[in-house]
Amino acid sequence: MSSVAVLTSGGDAPGMNAAIQAIVRVAASQGLDVAGVLDGYDGLIDGTSRPLTQRTEDGLIVPVPDVDSAGPLGGTILGSSRCPRFHEPEYRAQAAEHLRSLDAIGLIVIGGNGSIAGAHAIANEMEIPVVGIPASIDNDIGLTREALGVDTALNTIVEACDRISDTARSHRRAFIVEVMGRDSGYLAMAAAAATAADAVLLPEVSKSFDETVDAVAECIRDSLSASRKKRRTLVIKAEGVGIPTHMLVDEVEAQLEDIDNLEVRGTVLGHLVRGGNSSFRDR
């Protein structure tokens, strides 16, 4: 009986489970079984997988129960990994062996740019069709307008910034909020637009340490000036900007010590942004 294999790889992203569910539902409706490879390329190398389809008494192919309920959930029910071994041809050959033993007519890889590059290597080295589904909150995959996970991550960031803005306004404080994105400033840029942030720091705009501190200090000074009197100052910083957020907070405070009652706070949203039920768009 024909089957397709699916795996999730790299940093998990909301929407991966919705993609798995959609793949299984469509495959089952076409009379195909689906094998879920566990823990990304590690599972392909080590030969660990589980069936994502089952048979009814009438012989129909249907999704297994956890696939039926996985659609909204963040993370990935198949598990994921970053797999340095996959860069080495001998391990890719081992993975090819396991893929053959699954008797799969095709492989679907759900993941970010490294994972899609791995999918490309398999497609070049094996006689098997491979489909890559871009999924990464970083939104850094070539020729992809918006990867799975980006919409949910942005909604989480925007909600977090709205909450931070509530407390910032109450105390007339400045906040520097760091968001994930690896070397990409996309999440920071989009979130800054949506939250009407006062400034955004992006790795794509290269500034020295001193220039960055000066720019943030100037922004806060302007925001608190008698002519502006803003109660909230929000600076969104992409993680790819190579200054630790706590250090930036300290340096900016030191530069603005002439301002009475100045309070600058830093919040690193970190992995919080990667979890959570997927949004309508990511599903």
Nearest Cα to 37, choosing from 98, 97, 116, 90? 98
For ligand F6P, the closer CB: 25 or 82:
82
For ligand F6P, the closer CB: 50 or 271:
271
Nearest Cα to 173, choosing from 255, 258, 270, 249? 249
Catalytic positions are: 138
Spatial strand order of the sheet with 104-111 comes to 49-51, 33-37, 3-9, 104-111, 130-134
8 Å CB contact between 64 and 34: no
Smallest distance from the beta carbon of 279 to ligand F6P, in angstroms?
Answer: 17
CA 217 remoteness from chain centre: 30
For ligand F6P, the closer CB: 31 or 84:
84
Smallest distance from the beta carbon of 82 to ligand F6P, in angstroms?
Answer: 6
Smallest distance from the beta carbon of 206 to ligand F6P, in angstroms?
Answer: 18
Which strand (E) or helix (H) includes residue 31?
none
CA distance 44 to 245: 38
Crossing angle for the helix pair 245-255 and 209-224, nearest 10 degrees? Answer: 60
Which strand (E) or helix (H) includes residue 68?
helix 65-70
How does DSSP classify residue 279?
Answer: P
Smallest distance from the beta carbon of 211 to ligand F6P, in angstroms?
Answer: 23
8 Å CB contact between 77 and 70: yes
| Phi, then psi, of 144 in degrees rounded to 5 | -125, 115
b/e map 160-180, b = 16+ CB within 10 Å: bbeebbeebeeebbbbbbbbb
Query: What does the angle CA 233 – CA 238 – CA 239 come to, to the nearest 5 degrees?
Result: 125
CA 169 remoteness from chain centre: 30
For ligand F6P, the closer CB: 71 or 75:
75
Smallest distance from the beta carbon of 186 to ligand F6P, in angstroms?
Answer: 10
Name the residue with the smallest CB distance to ligand F6P: 11
Smallest distance from the beta carbon of 241 to ligand F6P, in angstroms?
Answer: 12
Binding site for ligand F6P (CB under 6 A): 11, 112, 136-138, 180-182, 239, 274
For ligand F6P, the closer CB: 63 or 74:
74
